[in-house]
Amino acid sequence: SVNTQYFIFELKAELNSDKKEKKKEAVKKVIASMTVGKDVSALFPDVVNCMQTDNLELKKLVYLYLMNYAKSQPDMAIMAVNTFVKDCEDPNPLIRALAVRTMGCIRVDKITEYLCEPLRKCLKDEDPYVRKTAAVCVAKLHDINAQLVEDQGFLDTLKDLISDSNPMVVANAVAALSEIAESHPNSNLLDLNPQSINKLLTALNECTEWGQIFILDCLANYTPRDDRESQSICERVTPRLSHANSAVVLSAVKVLMKFMEMLPKDLDYYGTLLKKLAPPLVTLLSAEPELQYVALRNINLIVQKRPEILKHEMKVFFVKYNDPIYVKLEKLDIMIRLASQANIAQVLAELKEYATEVDVDFVRKAVRAIGRCAIKVEQSAERCVSTLLDLIQTKVNYVVQEAIVVIKDIFRKYPNKYESVIATLCENLDSLDEPEARAAMIWIVGEYAERIDNADELLESFLEGFHDESTQVQLQLLTAIVKLFLKKPTETQELVQQVLSLATQDSDNPDLRDRGYIYWRLLSTDPVAAKEVVLAEKPLISEETDLIEPTLLEELICHIGTLASVYHKPPSAFVEGSRGVQHKRIPIRSGSGESSESQDTGGAPGATEAPAAVIPSQGDLLGDLLNLDLTPPTSTAGAPPGPPMPMGGMDLLGGGLDSLVGGGGSLLTPLSLMGSGFGAPAAVMPSSLNAPVGGGLGDLFDLGGGVGMPMGTFVPPKTLWLPAMKGKGLEIMGTFARRAGVIQMEMTLTNKAMSVMTDFAIQFNRNSFGLAPAGPLQVPTPLSPNQTIDVSLPLNNGGPVMKMEPLNNLQVAVKNNIDVFYFSCQYPISMLFVEDGKMDRQVFLATWKDIPNENEAQFQINDCHLNSDAASNKLQGSNVFTIAKRTVEGQDMLYQSMKLTNGICVLTELRVQTGSPTYTVSDRHTHALWVMIPARAGV
Amino acid sequence: MIGGLFIYNHKGEVLISRVYRDDIGRNAVDAFRVNVIHARQQVRSPVTNIARTSFFHVKRSNIWLAAVTKQNVNAAMVFEFLYKMCDVMTAYFSKISEENIKNNFVLIYELLDEILDFGYPQNSESGALKTFITQQGIKSQHHSKDEQSQITSQVTGQIGWRREGIKYRRNELFLDVLESVNLLMSPQGQVLSAHVSGRVVMKSYLSGMPECKFGMNDKIVIDKQQGKGATSDDSAKSGKQSIAIDDCTFHQCVRLSKFDSERSISFIPPDGDYELMRYRTTKDIILPFRVIPLVREVGRTKLEVKVVIKSNFKASLLAQKIEVRIPTPLNTSGVQVICMKGKAKYKASDNAIVWKIKRMAGMKESQISAEIELLPTNEKKKWTRPPISMNFEVPFAPSGLKVRYLKVFESKLNYSDHDVIKWVRYIGRSGIYETRC
């Protein structure tokens, strides 16, 4: 506008004034306009003209302007370069530092070229103030042009500064290096080793509070070599717990929480350290409210990781009337985490008090907390329920609703214990207007329909406005009415028909419709089954539903004090770009004498309980996920999963599969094959037998010239199991081998993504032979981009059994820091042939005869150029044992036996026509079902 | 690290903005205004994430200070820095107000340039900063070369909080033990929680670079000394007087490793005012007052309240500035009060009866009774009875803390510990001192 133009021209005139004072005032006006967001970039040349002055205040103002506008006017910014370069040589260290500091803030590529020489000088300046400023400037320059910093060798100079005599220079160098290192995860820039750590620890005692934070945050990334080093670092860090600056305290806590993991728990020092951690954490609660909030979010993590630290400090988390709401809500969370039988009375009294406060969110959370106490501390359940009933009597609408929601959970935890309160709950039916509360109430009515006389009326009343209800309520109502019908079928037929038609015909919600149809079909085809399904016993709900998942918790512990610990999210969830993608982990304990190699793999055989506990529970989660997808169709999501089948062929047959076979059989008792030969099994299993046979034997007999192949179990070449496309960059090739009696799953993991991968874990779905990992997946992490590693995972047969199709199919879930990936692969059955499968000749003969001819399968293997002895040797390597051999009419007949891990035996007769590449195999099996197996194994 | 720092007035107009990192754009300034300052609901967290940008804010009177970042910064550090920033501004121009900020904007920019470099906090001790950044323009250009290097070595040095060459004609120091005693008591007089948070604040006017050693009746220290062969009489005597400190934190001048190993508090103090230590105790607290409430609901429209306060300390001591706040229901229509001592008034705007007593000696008791008339309401919600709160000031430390000594050594100058004039004062104030009724 005209006014703005007027203003600009007026300033222009003032800037070019001869009078110093007037000039300065004009620049001040420019900065003031800049602050409020006015565009004063048009004044660039005039302002830059003021730069050459010996008035430091004016110079600083001009610099401020330059930092703001240089980027938009890069060509003009060059005009300033000469002055900067000159200032970097000024005798006054404050001016030298100012120049190098400002130059780094001018993010113009052309300027950076000119910056290098002055920066190099300043990094070696005699004055520590200049050096500490130059150290930060390297980080600035790296942010603009990383390559330039590397080419100019500034990183090495920066590393040298870690040994500087001045503590503040050290601290800034550490801060700059840490930041640069974050964008180069594998650069080993910080090169932390016992010597450099020692330097940092010395500087820690001498530098400013901020410097101490930089150093502690850097130390936290170090992995001590052994428990002794870990202890000595802890000893030197603990004095920081008494620092007045809360951030110093929290960063020290982070180092201690991490390194403590490496200490043996029976060490006296371990206990001492635990005791030292509580008081400073409590002291943080007397800091200003914003810091209290940060502290509480962190304490929430700490009590999940190590509940013992604060278990006696419940009282300090009691809410004060004047606490800001964000502090109140966090304290409440921690109170519940610390609640135990010992302090429950106090906690409940407090919670009851809070439930009468003003802030709606807080009150709701307090009511919910009472419910959680009931679930967590069984002894208090009764008292909690009566407290909740008292609160319902207040008739405060949101209190009543919240109470009903938690009472539903209490019912699920303690079924058939507190039903007496249902009448009171029903009185409040009309006041419920929130979907969650309505759904909870409907669930209660449905679940206890047989004890509520007018359950049908109650549910019918909800039905009137069915289409206005939220989905949550509709689904619950549908289920509740079906339950009611199954319990009182005579009176409620009409009601159930009404709800089914509402759900299936008048609704456009697919979930609701599907559920409606399922119930309808169930009820119409098999009411008995419907009853079993719908009224099945529900699994009890667990105590703590909101615990942070262990791997995430571990990562967050490594981020104590930072935003990640405030958000309870890994940095990758809220930081853009490459920064923060690295996942941090707690080092694990290894004895003093062990080599560092074992640390690298992250899992020395004697790993401590803690990390070991983390991975299996993660695995459980995966297992659950898999179960959800793969539970047999007869069980519903609500019903408890059946007990895992014990291992072994017997049980397998006796359990899940006898309905298919039509009867069980004991070991080595031949079973008559139903119908003719392959008829029945073929329907169950892939019918094309020839292909796998050919392929299989081809594999086993793939002897080329027989050279170079060591005797031993046949190992098929690795195949692609998980393509990088599906694995978000993780590619897995794999195969199976039997080595020294142990089945090994051998995999080649390749990271084809741009970021590092960590935190690998593996889990199998239940499978035909109960294969399961015998230990955690040991992947040396991090797996850097483009890195490939081979891992071998020993397996055992201890897992749950479920028949797969094909039989040797294995569904695998692999997890890393990025995601969980599923794939399936097939193992050669020969892996399952055990070493003691050699049958006594007599037994073999008797068994062979006992097995009816129908149980015999025959097939030919072509193109096999081995004589019978070589074949016999070859097969022996795969635990296929030749019991006898005879030669009839130019044919070698080999009689062989093999035994599977689950005890089933397979007998074969291998006929080798001398000089012909064709083998004929006849199999007889101890069990008809398994006809498939040897075929797969290629025998 | 911190990407930028904004200061707003209560309307959300930005008074100062300094961006340190390229990833923070101008729109961040508006994002905070719209989503936090102008937000309809009360702010529910001091940390806000808006479009992958995190904002940390603190408020001083009606001024908002916000630090902005896009990285996973050390959140505790950011808040500590913001508080420090407030301290520095207060040290330069006392009150943080819109006017003062506007009048000092050049100074603030200069400070922001100095104490935050690329988002990394640098030395922020106002004592050190004042040696080269002043409200009257920059001093340093007039400094001699020696003075310049003295400034830089102080700003970056081990003792960044004190400059060399300080001289006083009279070497004097003042120690204030300031405690706030917190209590939550049940209506039946059961202590639900009680703690003292104390501070030792020092004003030092000492020449040179004095080495100080501070001693108090810390139970751990006293027990240790007794272990070295004091008579059992002594131990019984001093054992009574020692106190158990739950935890303490120190100014950065205190050598923490020495405290950790020997539990001795040694330091070279900053010049002038500073806080030497903070501590917390929970055991054997002297609760200076006991409040005994009695609330009776007479029908639906009347409440009878009687509150007795008892002073529980030596009769020779006087408590001051006593104030008792008795909350009244929202539908109060009138209040009649009778009190034995002091003045009592019903403050409708506060929904409370405020009873003030100027002075009260120890071992006394006083009483107030009030009749509260209520308007009939049909609101279902019951009145929640907030706790009765109390304010007071007493001339002793409720924790029982006693300063045993503060020794001063300055080897280079010719004054000794005996020449230093030392003053010690104890003040106990109420923190959150509440009794439920």
Q: What is the pLDDT of residues A119-177, one digit of tens each?
A: 999 999 999 999 999 999 999 999 999 899 999 999 999 999 999 989 899 999 999 99
The pLDDT score that the predictor gives to residue A712 is: 54
| A198-241 per-position pLDDT tens digit | 989 999 988 899 999 999 999 999 999 898 999 999 999 999 99
Across the interface, whether the CB atoms of B75 and A561 are under 8 A apart is answered yes
User: Do A110 and A74 touch, CB atoms closer than 8 A?
Assistant: yes
| Chain A residues within 8 A of B26 when measuring between CB atoms | 37
Q: Looking at residues A387-401, what average pLDDT do you find?
A: 90
Q: Looking at residues A61-83, what average pLDDT do you find?
A: 84
Across the interface, whether the CB atoms of A37 and B44 are under 8 A apart is answered no
The pLDDT score that the predictor gives to residue A698 is: 37
Closest CA to A304 of A269, A336, A267: A336
Closest CA to A94 of A70, A123, A128, A64: A128
In whole angstroms, give the CA distance from residue B180 to residue A286.
11
Across the interface, whether the CB atoms of A561 and B58 are under 8 A apart is answered no
The pLDDT score that the predictor gives to residue A858 is: 74
Mean pLDDT lowest among A528-542, A784-798, A888-902, B338-352: A888-902
Nearest to A35 among B14, B71, B247 (CB): B14
In whole angstroms, give the CA distance from residue A737 to residue A746.
7
Q: What percent of chain A has pLDDT over 70?
A: 81
Nearest to A242 among B17, B149, B256 (CB): B256
| A148 or B227, higher pLDDT | A148
Find residues 458-487 of chain A whose CB sits inside 8 Å of chain B. none
Find residues 32-61 of chain B whose CB sits inside 8 Å of chain A. 42, 44-47, 49, 52, 54, 56-58
| Chain A residues within 8 A of B31 when measuring between CB atoms | none
Find residues 352-371 of chain B whose CB sits inside 8 Å of chain A. none
Closest CA to A140 of A174, A91, A188, A107: A107
User: Do B308 and B292 touch, CB atoms closer than 8 A?
Assistant: yes
| Chain B residues within 8 A of A36 when measuring between CB atoms | 13-14
- The answer, yes or no, to whether residue A789 has pLDDT greater than 60, is yes
In whole angstroms, give the CA distance from residue B54 to residue B68.
6
Query: Closest-CA residue in chain A for B1?
Result: A179
Across the interface, whether the CB atoms of B247 and A283 are under 8 A apart is answered yes
Distances (CA, A) of A798 to A169, A596, A768, A893: 58, 32, 12, 37
**A360–chain B nearest CA distance, Å:** 12
Taking the Cβ of residue A574 and every Cβ of chain B, the question of whether any pair is shorter than 8 Å is answered with: yes
Taking the Cβ of residue A129 and every Cβ of chain B, the question of whether any pair is shorter than 8 Å is answered with: yes
Across the interface, whether the CB atoms of A288 and B79 are under 8 A apart is answered yes
DSSP conformational letter for A541: P
> Model ipTM?
0.83
Query: Torsions phi, psi of A267, nearest 5?
Result: -70, 135
Q: Looking at residues A574-595, what average pLDDT do you find?
A: 64
- The answer, yes or no, to whether residue A548 has pLDDT greater than 70, is yes
Q: Looking at residues A89-116, what average pLDDT do you find?
A: 88
The pLDDT score that the predictor gives to residue A700 is: 41
Q: For residue A256, name the pLDDT band (cuts at 50, 70, 90).
A: very high
Q: For residue A545, name the pLDDT band (cuts at 50, 70, 90).
A: low
The pLDDT score that the predictor gives to residue A632 is: 37
Q: Looking at residues B356-382, what average pLDDT do you find?
A: 87
Q: For residue B228, name the pLDDT band (cuts at 50, 70, 90).
A: low
Taking the Cβ of residue A242 and every Cβ of chain B, the question of whether any pair is shorter than 8 Å is answered with: yes
| A463 or A56, higher pLDDT | A463
| A891 or A148, higher pLDDT | A148
In whole angstroms, give the CA distance from residue B165 to residue A522.
93
Across the interface, whether the CB atoms of A251 and B74 are under 8 A apart is answered yes
The pLDDT score that the predictor gives to residue B229 is: 54
Nearest to A286 among B148, B280, B434 (CB): B280
Taking the Cβ of residue B81 and every Cβ of chain A, the question of whether any pair is shorter than 8 Å is answered with: yes
Mean pLDDT lowest among A322-326, A754-758, B17-21: A754-758
The pLDDT score that the predictor gives to residue A661 is: 34
**A26–chain B nearest CA distance, Å:** 12
Find residues 290-349 of chain B whose CB sits inside 8 Å of chain A. none
Q: What percent of chain B has pLDDT over 90?
A: 64
The pLDDT score that the predictor gives to residue A936 is: 33
The pLDDT score that the predictor gives to residue B141 is: 52
H/E/C letters for each residue in A559-628? CCCEHHHHHCCCHHHCCCCCCCCCCCCCCCCCCCCCCHHHHHCCCCCCCCHHHHHHHHHHHHHHHHHHHH
CA atoms within 13 A on the CB side of A400: 21
Query: Closest-CA residue in chain B for A144?
Result: B22
| Chain A residues within 8 A of B150 when measuring between CB atoms | none
| B274-320 per-position pLDDT tens digit | 999 999 999 999 999 999 999 888 888 899 999 999 999 999 999 99
The pLDDT score that the predictor gives to residue A863 is: 66
Strands (E), B302-420: 302-311, 318-327, 332-339, 343-347, 352-361, 365-374, 388-394, 403-409
Sign of the CA dihedral A706, A708, A712, A716?
A: negative
| Chain A residues within 8 A of B256 when measuring between CB atoms | 205, 239-240, 242-243
| A657 or A67, higher pLDDT | A67
Across the interface, whether the CB atoms of A243 and B160 are under 8 A apart is answered no
The pLDDT score that the predictor gives to residue B89 is: 94
Taking the Cβ of residue A288 and every Cβ of chain B, the question of whether any pair is shorter than 8 Å is answered with: yes
Nearest to A394 among B72, B148, B382 (CB): B382
| A797 or B142, higher pLDDT | A797
Across the interface, whether the CB atoms of B384 and A357 are under 8 A apart is answered yes
A714: CB partners within 8 A, 6+ apart: A699, A700, A828, A830, A874, A877, A878
Q: Looking at residues B366-394, what average pLDDT do you find?
A: 84
Q: What percent of chain A has pLDDT over 90?
A: 33
Mean pLDDT lowest among A252-261, A423-432, A930-939, B384-393: A930-939
| Chain B residues within 8 A of A294 when measuring between CB atoms | 47, 75-76, 79
**Rounded mean pLDDT of chain A?**
80
| A714 or A907, higher pLDDT | A907
Flag whether the pTM goes above 0.90. no
Q: Looking at residues A355-364, what average pLDDT do you find?
A: 89
The pLDDT score that the predictor gives to residue A543 is: 67
